[in-house]
């Protein structure tokens, strides 16, 4: 359990640290386009990736070894870089010195595209690979109508529940996204579960990470479910601090008496809480701790326009200055096939980001432990085009994302700790709008 939470927190720290630096880079604007060329389709190519969990690293190293064996005229050199410094490294490297193929955190695609560090993907990657990418994968990797990145895996977010504890307390729970708890029903469930538990608590939200990327990933769906958003048409004012967003954040703050601080990371496994607001990365640990048949995957509450959830993860692109685009494209074709995607998702438990591998993953299909969350990932949309039928929402693909997430996460943590929601959200919206204004809306 420890390793899983550590991995999640590490990812969140990476994103926050990295996006801040990307933001600084973004202020320089984009003035150049990709100079990538196809090359001969032979020779040596360089690959950069973040150093993840041991199982993820092993799966990636095996994929590279398999590619080199099956493509004797191309040799891929893999460099694993610490997740703590990965995006900083990419951000601070001139595009002429970037590798032929590079991994990146999903929310940074917009910034790297804006700064002309990525080559459009379709000129080098097979059409069949693009068409096999899930709709969410395409949404996450597309900036200004150009596809720059494709992932091996996605992410899934929702509520974990201890069925025995809910049943013992007499709490009825939703069995589909369509009948997700309303805010009032969710608050009532928190109160009843807390009263029934000697801990006096009922919910874990990883509160110590609210002011990091986790805060935006995990809780922007709250305001989006209410009808608000982080930003719309380049403006935060009017959506981030709308009446609906303020009401939703007020309801979010009302949960605090029932939230376990979870300093040891064991609140759910030890039965101190019956509910955990978290993602797919906890499934292996939670199912082992309380039993797979006792672990429920529930939808997030419906704040008015339908239950919404987060999505998105690490993804892959081609360096804008590569002289071996053909070989780089062949590598991504190989990396994104079913065998390698499945090996990776078996290692980290994430939902596959290709249609065929996702369809074959029993964990996310009917009868699987995360089947409901798998259904949610079949109803995705970008944050710029949220619909009533969309459930899983990808974070905004814009070079201005660093300032969006920094200001929202800061406001979120402040609200949870007692700040006035209207004031905190309005201040965040003003800061975001000022940043966009200072950067001409990050127009390319």
In degrees rounded to 5, what are phi and psi of residue 258? -105, 5
- For residues 242 and 219, membership in a common domain is answered with yes
The Cα 280–Cα 217 span in angstroms is: 13
- For residues 189 and 303, membership in a common domain is answered with yes
Residue 238 carries which DSSP code? T
Local structure of 374: helix, strand or coil? helix
Per-residue pLDDT tens digits for 260-288: 999 999 999 999 999 999 999 999 999 99
Local structure of 352: helix, strand or coil? strand
CA 256 to chain centroid:
24
In a domain, 381, yes or no: no
Cβ-based neighbour number of residue 191 at 10 Å: 15
Q: What is the pLDDT of residue 264?
A: 95
Q: Is 208 exposed, middle or buried (0-12, 13-18, 19+ CB in 10 A)?
A: middle
In degrees rounded to 5, what are phi and psi of residue 426? -65, -40
Domain count, the chain: 2
- For residues 150 and 168, membership in a common domain is answered with no
Lowest mean pLDDT among 151-165, 326-340, 381-395: 381-395
- For residues 284 and 193, membership in a common domain is answered with yes
Whether 4 has a pLDDT exceeding 70, the answer reads no
Stated length of the chain:
444
Whether 207 has a pLDDT exceeding 60, the answer reads yes
pLDDT band at residue 84 using 50, 70 and 90 as cut-offs: confident
Q: Which domain holds residue 201?
A: 157-311+386-439
In a domain, 27, yes or no: no
In the block, tokens 């993840």 appear at 52
| CB-CB contact of 291 with 274 (8 Å) | no
- For residues 146 and 277, membership in a common domain is answered with no
Q: What percentage of residues in the chain have a pLDDT greater than 90?
A: 86
First to last CA, the chain: 44
- For residues 251 and 174, membership in a common domain is answered with yes
Q: Mean pLDDT across the chain, nearest whole number?
A: 92
In a domain, 234, yes or no: yes
| CB-CB contact of 166 with 196 (8 Å) | no
The Cα 398–Cα 385 span in angstroms is: 14
In a domain, 369, yes or no: no
Per-residue pLDDT tens digits for 393-425: 999 999 999 999 999 999 999 999 999 999 999
Per-residue pLDDT tens digits for 337-376: 999 999 999 988 899 999 999 999 999 999 999 999 999 9
Q: What is the pLDDT of residue 210?
A: 97
| CB-CB contact of 310 with 386 (8 Å) | no
The Cα 435–Cα 424 span in angstroms is: 17
Helix %, strand %, coil % for the chain, to 5?
50, 15, 35
Whether 435 has a pLDDT exceeding 60, the answer reads yes
Domain of residue 354, CATH code: 3.40.190.10
CA 397 to chain centroid:
12
- For residues 394 and 432, membership in a common domain is answered with yes
Whether pTM exceeds 0.75: yes
In a domain, 13, yes or no: no
Per-residue pLDDT tens digits for 127-147: 999 999 999 999 899 998 999
- For residues 338 and 208, membership in a common domain is answered with no
Whether 236 has a pLDDT exceeding 90, the answer reads yes
- For residues 211 and 165, membership in a common domain is answered with yes
The Cα 147–Cα 135 span in angstroms is: 12
In a domain, 101, yes or no: yes
The Cα 260–Cα 269 span in angstroms is: 12
Residue 280 CB-half CA count within 13 A = 28
The more confident residue out of 193 and 5 is 193
Torsion of CA 61, 66, 67, 73, to 10 degrees: 120
The Cα 319–Cα 439 span in angstroms is: 24
Q: What is the pLDDT of residue 8?
A: 42
- For residues 58 and 105, membership in a common domain is answered with yes
Per-residue pLDDT tens digits for 20-76: 444 333 334 443 467 899 999 999 999 999 998 899 999 999 999 999 999 999 999
Q: What is the pLDDT of residue 53?
A: 84
Residue 246 CB-half CA count within 13 A = 16
Q: What percentage of residues in the chain have a pLDDT greater than 70?
A: 92
Q: What is the pLDDT of residue 33?
A: 64
In a domain, 377, yes or no: no
Local structure of 378: helix, strand or coil? coil
Give the helix ranges, DSSP H, for 34-182: 54-70, 86-92, 109-114, 127-132, 135-141, 163-169
- For residues 169 and 79, membership in a common domain is answered with no
Residue 116 carries which DSSP code? T
Cα distances from 175 to residues 115, 163, 368, 414, in angstroms, run 44, 12, 14, 32
Q: What is the pLDDT of residue 443?
A: 80
In a domain, 15, yes or no: no
- For residues 210 and 288, membership in a common domain is answered with yes
């Amino acid at each position: 359990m420890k390793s899983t939470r550590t991995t999640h927190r590490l990812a969140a720290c990476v994103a926050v640290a990295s996006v801040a630096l990307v933001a600084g880079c973004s202020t320089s604007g984009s003035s150049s386009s990709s100079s990538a060329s196809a090359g001969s389709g032979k020779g040596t190519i360089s690959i950069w990736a973040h150093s993840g969990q041991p199982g993820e690293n092993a799966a990636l190293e095996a994929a590279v070894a398999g590619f080199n064996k099956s493509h004797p005229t191309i040799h891929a050199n893999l460099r694993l870089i610490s997740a703590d410094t990965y995006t900083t490294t990419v951000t601070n490297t001139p595009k002429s010195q970037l590798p032929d193929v590079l991994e990146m955190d999903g929310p940074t695609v917009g910034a790297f595209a804006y700064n002309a560090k990525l080559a459009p993907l379709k000129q080098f990657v097979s059409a069949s690979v693009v068409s096999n990418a899930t709709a969410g994968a395409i949404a996450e990797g597309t900036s200004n109508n150009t596809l720059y990145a494709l992932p091996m895996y996605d992410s899934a977010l929702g509520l974990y529940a201890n069925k025995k504890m809910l049943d013992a307390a007499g709490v009825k729970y939703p069995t589909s996204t369509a009948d997700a708890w309303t805010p009032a029903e969710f608050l009532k469930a928190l109160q009843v579960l807390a009263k029934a538990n000697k801990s006096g608590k009922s919910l874990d939200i990883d509160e110590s990470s609210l002011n990091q990327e986790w805060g935006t990933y995990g809780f922007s769906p709250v305001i989006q479910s209410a009808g608000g958003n982080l930003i719309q048409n380049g403006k935060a004012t009017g959506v981030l601090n709308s009446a609906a967003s303020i009401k939703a954040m007020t309801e979010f703050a009302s949960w605090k008496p029932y939230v376990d601080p979870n300093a040891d990371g064991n609140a759910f496994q030890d039965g101190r809480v019956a509910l955990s607001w978290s993602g797919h990365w906890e499934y292996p640990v939670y199912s082992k701790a309380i039993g797979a048949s006792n672990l429920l995957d529930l939808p997030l509450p419906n704040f008015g326009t339908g239950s919404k959830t987060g999505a998105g993860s690490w993804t892959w692109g081609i360096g804008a200055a590569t002289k071996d685009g053909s070989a780089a494209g062949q590598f991504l074709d190989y990396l994104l096939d079913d065998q390698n995607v499945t090996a990776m998702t078996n290692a980290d438990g994430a939902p596959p980001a290709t249609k065929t591998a996702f369809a074959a993953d029993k964990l996310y299909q009917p009868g699987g432990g995360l089947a409901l969350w798998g259904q949610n990932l079949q109803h995705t949309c970008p944050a710029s085009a949220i619909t009533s039928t969309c459930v899983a929402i990808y974070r905004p693909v814009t070079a201005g994302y660093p300032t969006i997430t920094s200001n929202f996460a800061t406001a979120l943590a402040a609200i949870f700790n007692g700040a006035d929601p209207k004031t905190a959200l309005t201040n965040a919206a003003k800061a975001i709008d000022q940043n966009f204004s200072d950067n001409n809306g990050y127009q390319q």
